[in-house]
Structure 1
Amino acid sequence: MDRFLFSVVGLVITLSLISSQAEARAFFVFGDSLVDSGNNDYLATTARADSPPYGIDYPTHRPTGRFSNGLNIPDIISEQIGSEPTLPYLSPELKDERLLVGANFASAGIGILNDTGIQFINIIRICKQLDYFQQYQQRVSALIGAEQTEQLVNQALVLITLGGNDFVNNYYLVPFSARSRQFSLPDYVVYLISEYQKVLRRLYELGARRVLVTGTGPLGCVPAELAQRSRNGECSAELQRAAALFNPQLVQMLNQLNSEIGSDVFVSANAFEMKMDFINDPQAYGFVTSKVACCGQGPYNGIGLCTPLSNLCPNRDVYVFWDPFHPSERANRLIVQQFMIGSTKYMHPMNLSTIMALDSKA
């Protein structure tokens, strides 16, 4: 616990220094269920978090479409950068002045590839999220003019979280999936990285100049995979291998893009290491377990979805995982703490506090 308290004190001091320097900036979010703030609520899809006990610890105590007991990673980043939380792009409330805060385009179930998550039917694939980003800019231009819009987008912070579903909901979804017959794992990773590079290039073309790119977490250690693949609670070696191949190649690709552009546009966030810290030693961070989900059923509460009929833990703050796949709000807070003040082990080439200090001087 001491280590946690010490980090929080450090975070508070750092934030008080930078919040005075940085004006609130627009924030845009792209990706999957780890960062979806409710877009899927507006779609006919099975990938949704619109029923209790989702949202049990949210200020309204109601489900919001976030795959969390409370706040998710974008909400906490918004808090830290002094912005209002971004609304889902499909929300009818996202209009007029609210547009200037930014928007969340993320959609649960999607991946880098268009065939990832096809079992969820209607989801906003990444190419469509980028189309919406372009449409968003046209809407803002009508409000404040093209020049101001370009400036708002250039100065914004962007978060993109993709990749996990390309393994969990594609390559490893069923034995002998189409992609696993087409590619060996190392070749599949190379293909994913090349497709991801196209996505990031388009994001840059659309004006993004500060992009936090998260690698995949420890895919083999989530309760859903422990329930299906683990005998004694050990992480699935095969899924851990997938993450271990993907993440370093992602960092390499981001470095390459930055050197082509001649600027540190893309910043990698090492979600794997961030989460492994408390998976390996949950007690050191004030958690009771990193294996059992708070909400679910079956072994490790890892089977099926979190529903009103699921087992539900009384204290979400002592669980690393809220449901079979997603971290609890408290785990999300620890992850964002590393985004803010983490060393280069977690954030490369710099953390978010450094970015904000640099950009406030620009």
Structure 2
Amino acid sequence: MAIMIMMLRSVSLGETMNSRPLAPALYVFGDSLFDSGNNNLLPTLAKADFLPYGMNFDRGPTGRFTNGKTVVDFIDFLVAEFLGFPYSPPYLSLNQILLHPEQLTGLNFASGACGILPDTGNDLGRCLNFPEQIDFFETAIEEELPRHYLNSDDLSNHLAKSVYVISVGSNDYINNYLDKKHYDTSKRFSPQSFAKLLIDNLSQQLRRMYYLGARKVIMFEIGPIGCIPSSTGQFKHNGRCVEEFNEFAVMFNDHLAPMLVNLTSNLQGSSFVLGHAHWLGYDAVTHPSKYGNYYSK
């Protein structure tokens, strides 16, 4: 999390802790790692609005795919002294939340099971793929956000100063490329060509975000997908990581870093920051005792 704080500092406009917040809002995009309740309102099997989800969260089950906080929640908590705002509410629940103008400090568009490609996760039901999340972001800019600002210049300034956090792409492997029962993607694309396909589509959507007003974007790597239970259990690895799947994620990540550098270089005033997640996730799985709460058999 110290790395995250440094990244947030790097994308700030230089305000100090003792003055106004470094950013007026946090906008969140991605999959189940960041979903804070959007899937609650969608017809899908990918839901987390029941126990044991949320058993260690102060609000109970909210649709977060974890027993407690998501990564974004930890970011909110640990850098609150820098950013100064609460959890970003799920966008689809806006009609259930009464927001005063001064309370709009971000929105969460993330949706569990979905990915970069439109058809990823569809076998589980309805979810918001990344292009759709950007569509909703555009709708928010056109319909919701103007009510909080006096004019278009104030809104543009808000968007430019806000921080945008994204974690997406793992489901394009888990719920698409590696799911040979429901998809033929692995027959049509080699691992390298599929990674390139994802990066090209992701780049297009990040450019959309830029032209909608986003300037300070943190994009996380894909984690070690070969170490999750659905991978280790399906292939009977007795809890050991499926390294072939991890190599697919590394291929994506190897393309991701230079793509973000290219966007920053070519889109004036932008900062696309890479969030290093793969090595940390892999190390936590393979050396759990280093991270506490380790229970040996």
Answer yes or no: same fold by TM over 0.5. yes
In structure 2, which of residues 139, 146, 154 is the aligned counterpart of residue 135 of structure 1?
139
- Counterpart residue number, 1:67: 65
AA aligned to 1:54 is Y
1:34-53 equivalences under 5 Å are 34-53=33-52
Q: Distance in 1 between matches of 2:292 and 2:186?
A: 39
Change (3 A) 1:135 1:276: same
User: How many residues are matched?
Assistant: 280
Question: The residue matched to 2:274 in structure 1 has which SS?
Answer: strand
TM-score (normalizing by structure 2): 0.87
1:314-325 equivalences under 5 Å are none
- Counterpart residue number, 2:121: 117
- Counterpart residue number, 1:190: 196
Question: The residue matched to 2:97 in structure 1 has which SS?
Answer: coil
* 1:189, distance to aligned residue in structure 2 (A): 0.8
Change (3 A) 1:240 1:77: same
AA aligned to 1:66 is R
**Higher mean Cα deviation, 197-206 or 131-140?**
131-140
* 1:109, distance to aligned residue in structure 2 (A): 1.0
Tell me if the contact between 1:49 and 1:65 (Cα under 8 Å) persists in the aligned partners: yes
Question: What are the superposed Cα offsets for residues 126-182 of structure 1, whole Å, 9 maximum, x if unpaired?
Answer: 222111111212222133232221111110000011110000000001269311111
Change (3 A) 1:135 1:98: farther
* 1:270, distance to aligned residue in structure 2 (A): 1.4
* 1:58, distance to aligned residue in structure 2 (A): 0.6
Q: Distance in 1 between matches of 2:167 and 2:103?
A: 22
AA aligned to 2:180 is V
Question: The residue matched to 2:91 in structure 1 has which SS?
Answer: coil
- Counterpart residue number, 1:359: none
Q: Distance in 2 between matches of 1:264 and 1:144?
A: 23
* 1:18, distance to aligned residue in structure 2 (A): 5.9
Runs of 4+ in 1 over 3 A off after TM superposition: 17-22
Q: Percent identity?
A: 35
- Counterpart residue number, 1:227: 233
TM-score (normalizing by structure 1): 0.72
Tell me if the contact between 2:229 and 2:239 (Cα under 8 Å) persists in the aligned partners: no
5+ unaligned residues in a row in structure 2: which ranges? 10-14
Tell me if the contact between 2:114 and 2:120 (Cα under 8 Å) persists in the aligned partners: yes
Q: Distance in 2 between matches of 1:108 and 1:115?
A: 13
Change (3 A) 1:248 1:289: farther
* 1:102, distance to aligned residue in structure 2 (A): 0.9
Question: The residue matched to 1:30 in structure 2 has which SS?
Answer: strand
AA aligned to 1:85 is Y
Q: Distance in 2 between matches of 1:126 and 1:43?
A: 15
